Structure 1
């Protein structure tokens, strides 16, 4: 069955006839539930059931998922699927499992992962129970987990549902009986992460040279939690619990997986091929900062697939109450190569690190950012070999931190500048205009009219402001080199137990870890 219509424009007759052909196929093959079928439009993604009329509307207005060339969600048998679509994929067999493995970002069936891939392929061909032709073990688990994620079910409720379905289905069914077993089936599909032990005083991470230590070399506190409040008594080695943990989700395998999907790889060069360039600010690629990077590093700018990343972090309380003694600091990455309507979508926002504990990391956040900075430095200095599924060849991927996104207190944690006190402005520094309130003793910052244009009418107003006109010009912001001259001699001392030297002349408390990145 010819499915070239799926790549045609939605306003053509070819596409319209193809939609009707799909709807007839679905009505003749798929089993409806309450008169509804899975909708393969871009918006629903085979995760929602709709009526035939609604599916027709969605496919015309939203478009069909172009990679959905094997209609397995509408009971098209894998054995009888039209193999004429083999040219649309990189594998010769046309097996959807091989497409899935390719999307995982793997470059081949490596020995270390061969067993996991074999398990996935076996589960993809094993009927859910004897005589079942609608679902395999893998497709059933994928469908159920998709519903769990879409509607926010708890792990406990999902396990209860699996138990109920197990009892409802024939006795020889192989549906997993709880959430843990379901996750084991999908284990190769998930992303890897590193669980790194940390000093409870934020002195070090127990990795590299400190990986085998049981006590912090800076403050001497134990790596593990004591029992019964006694810091000298520890439980057995097998049951020891770390005092503090941070989770790092390596970014390089995730970038590889992103380019292994043809549609995503195409979107990542949208800024170079499809963006409207008319001198207006429509995308970060139109910004002076983007152009300055291309000018300073022409080799980097010559490859449109090289990534520009935004880094954002802030503290939050996951328990929703201000009285809970807990703080979580997620570190997120945004990819500005993507089109405007995708770069801020949740699907493309990457959680790279989670720092959790009873206290916020504060100025010691650099200790936790080290694994991320190491990967970012590798992506800049060496690059990594990545397979581009869109252009069908490998290339050397590099990446740069384009900007950081944070509020003012988090800015102080990342940069090392003291954002409190009389000289809290990192642009004005010693020229910061402040005033101490007489009764509240609060410091407020004034004279913002300095940043207006020289002949702006607000500069001459008196009554609307503090009774005086403003004639001074704004101070020039510091350049990167000027900031580096201020921080190059600062001695970094991390850890809540360490006494930091106080300095009234230098507002910079540390040399930020971001200075390890050459750019």
Structure 2
């Protein structure tokens, strides 16, 4: 329904929506969810909504029609079985297993009197000791068993199930092999190996073997209209306090909980995958070469007054002077720098301002903006009142008198950091305070997209099988 407006699928979805809106009028009026109206304007005539939606489409993120009496997302057939807590996004799993393999190589540099099979085992045992739950410990126990288990019966060359899978996944990550191609390779290798071998026959199964060695991922339920995260104060709610959309998907013909039977697992309407930066930093510092590079800004950087890296800038020196004891004195603390629209800070006649090839085909002739102090910006955003979400109850910052969008649409959570108002470049913050790893976020979005495609394919396959069955029944009656 949110795709190309010229397709029959969009037209059908739009008409389905209009039927729902017509049946659930409020005082004879219907809210219009086009991008311009944004559910803030209502009309009594269905034709007006039809015209707006046909020419402008639907507003983004309005996935549950809470302004039109819909309360939640319907569950697809067989979706409960697919809700797998052990699912590993493809790109994220590749990065994690590649880094785990590098940790293994780091251990290989130890003296030769340490048996070969103790290196990987030491990594697993150390990780198991840090587990907080029995469920996590059982996963590492299974890995230890796979580490002892030969790749095939009577395997005498030292190849175990775990070491082989880890080596193959590292090769996959280093050569950017797609999941589909890697799975074909696994099937070929499995046929070539002796009978009853332990090699996984799918990419998903291979990643599950080394899953505990990957980086931590936290899955947080979210409102389908992006109003809130069911976290902290909202963690025990079953419906969004802003738009009213249900937290969990609605089962078709749901009989409810039945006495004497185990409670059925509920599937969240929307899930946010959160990849914390802290485990990744720990993984980097566990490798000697990576740890040395992470401390380069303090230990190996040339300090001759020339500007070569962010650590040579005036802001870095300012933070070092003011927060030496709290932060800057430890060389392991690092900063993240983001440069957006940086060409406007160049001299007005600089040649890079005119170049378009590497800047999305656009030149940049804007003037250098006036420098705002942290106290000035904080005073502007401090009183902004925003209620997130596209459903009823959502409240955005209004446009100014000339119809221009506001410069700030919310007060960022980063203003809670005590040093933010002292920064000259407020996009340069302590990496430990960065709550989004953008590269991995893209990987998660791609993984979720791939999972949704798989569900749609299964649904279409079931429909084809049903239609095929009806045709066979009709032919049987005719004969």
Q: TM-score, normalised by structure 2?
A: 0.51
Q: What is the 5 A alignment of 1:82-93?
A: 82-83=112-113
Q: CA deviation at 1:501?
A: 5.1
* Aligned match for 1:178, one of 186, 202, 210: 202
Structure 2 SS opposite 1:196: strand
Match of 2:270 in 1: 244
Q: Deviations over 1:325-383 (max 9, x none)?
A: xxxxxxxxxxxxxxxxxxxxxxxxxxxxxxxxxxxxxxxxxxxxxxxxxxxxxxxxxxx
Match of 2:356 in 1: none
Task: Find the aligned partners of 2:185 and 2:218 in 1 and give their Cα distance.
Answer: 31
Structure 1 SS opposite 2:282: helix
Q: CA deviation at 1:240?
A: 4.9
Query: Which runs of no fewer than 5 residues in structure 1 stay unpaired?
Result: 1-43, 48-64, 71-80, 87-92, 311-402, 409-447, 458-472
Structure 2 residue 241 is the aligned partner of structure 1 residue 201 = no
* Mapped contact 2:200–2:206 kept (Cα < 8 A): yes
Q: CA deviation at 1:107?
A: 6.5
Task: Find the aligned partners of 1:241 and 1:157 in 2 and give their Cα distance.
Answer: 31
Task: Find the aligned partners of 2:301 and 2:319 in 1 and give their Cα distance.
Answer: 18
Kindly tell me: are residues 503 and 149 of structure 1, through their superposed partners in 2, closer, same or farther at Cα, counting changes over 3 Å?
A: closer
Match of 1:298 in 2: 324
Aligned-residue Cα RMSD (Å) equals 3.9
Kindly tell me: are residues 254 and 151 of structure 1, through their superposed partners in 2, closer, same or farther at Cα, counting changes over 3 Å?
A: closer
* Aligned match for 2:236, one of 188, 205, 212: 212
* Mapped contact 1:123–1:138 kept (Cα < 8 A): yes
Q: CA deviation at 1:193?
A: 0.8
Match of 1:500 in 2: 396
Task: Find the aligned partners of 1:205 and 1:152 in 2 and give their Cα distance.
Answer: 34
Task: Find the aligned partners of 1:221 and 1:116 in 2 and give their Cα distance.
Answer: 36
Structure 2 residue 141 is the aligned partner of structure 1 residue 118 = yes
Task: Find the aligned partners of 1:184 and 1:452 in 2 and give their Cα distance.
Answer: 53
Task: Find the aligned partners of 2:346 and 2:189 in 1 and give their Cα distance.
Answer: 66
Task: Find the aligned partners of 1:499 and 1:108 in 2 and give their Cα distance.
Answer: 44
* Mapped contact 1:103–1:257 kept (Cα < 8 A): no
Structure 2 SS opposite 1:246: strand
The structure 1 segments of at least 4 consecutive aligned residues displaced by more than 6 Å after TM superposition are: 233-237
* Aligned match for 2:290, one of 254, 264, 284: 264
Query: Which runs of no fewer than 5 residues in structure 2 stay unpaired?
Result: 1-97, 257-262, 351-366, 420-479
* Aligned match for 2:383, one of 469, 474, 489: 489
Structure 1 SS opposite 2:273: strand
Q: CA deviation at 1:186?
A: 0.5
Task: Find the aligned partners of 2:278 and 2:334 in 1 and give their Cα distance.
Answer: 12
* Mapped contact 1:195–1:246 kept (Cα < 8 A): yes
Q: TM-score, normalised by structure 1?
A: 0.48
* Mapped contact 1:97–1:121 kept (Cα < 8 A): no
* Aligned match for 1:132, one of 132, 148, 156: 156
- Count of aligned pairs between the two proteins: 287
Q: Deviations over 1:69-101 (max 9, x none)?
A: 37xxxxxxxxxx821x79xxxxxx992124534
Match of 1:74 in 2: none
Match of 2:422 in 1: none
* Aligned match for 1:274, one of 289, 297, 300: 300
* Mapped contact 1:162–1:176 kept (Cα < 8 A): yes
Q: CA deviation at 1:484?
A: 0.6
Task: Find the aligned partners of 2:369 and 2:209 in 1 and give their Cα distance.
Answer: 60
Structure 2 residue 368 is the aligned partner of structure 1 residue 479 = no
Q: CA deviation at 1:170?
A: 1.5
Q: CA deviation at 1:188?
A: 1.4
* Mapped contact 1:490–1:511 kept (Cα < 8 A): yes
Kindly tell me: are residues 141 and 503 of structure 1, through their superposed partners in 2, closer, same or farther at Cα, counting changes over 3 Å?
A: closer
Q: CA deviation at 1:137?
A: 1.1
Q: Deviations over 1:302-340 (max 9, x none)?
A: 1111121x2xxxxxxxxxxxxxxxxxxxxxxxxxxxxxx
Kindly tell me: are residues 306 and 199 of structure 1, through their superposed partners in 2, closer, same or farther at Cα, counting changes over 3 Å?
A: same
Task: Find the aligned partners of 1:140 and 1:474 in 2 and give their Cα distance.
Answer: 56
Structure 2 SS opposite 1:95: helix
Answer 1 or 2: higher relative contact order, Cα 8 Å, separation at least 6.
Answer: 2
Task: Find the aligned partners of 2:318 and 2:181 in 1 and give their Cα distance.
Answer: 52
Kindly tell me: are residues 509 and 126 of structure 1, through their superposed partners in 2, closer, same or farther at Cα, counting changes over 3 Å?
A: closer
Q: Which stretch of the first structure deviates more once superposed, 499-508 or 129-138?
A: 499-508
Task: Find the aligned partners of 1:199 and 1:212 in 2 and give their Cα distance.
Answer: 13
Q: CA deviation at 1:168?
A: 2.1
Q: CA deviation at 1:271?
A: 1.6
Q: What is the 5 A alignment of 1:109-508?
A: 112=134, 113-129=136-152, 130-225=154-249, 238=264, 240-299=266-325, 300-308=327-335, 310=336, 403-406=337-340, 476-497=370-391, 498-500=394-396, 502=398, 504=400, 507-508=407-408
* Mapped contact 1:225–1:234 kept (Cα < 8 A): no
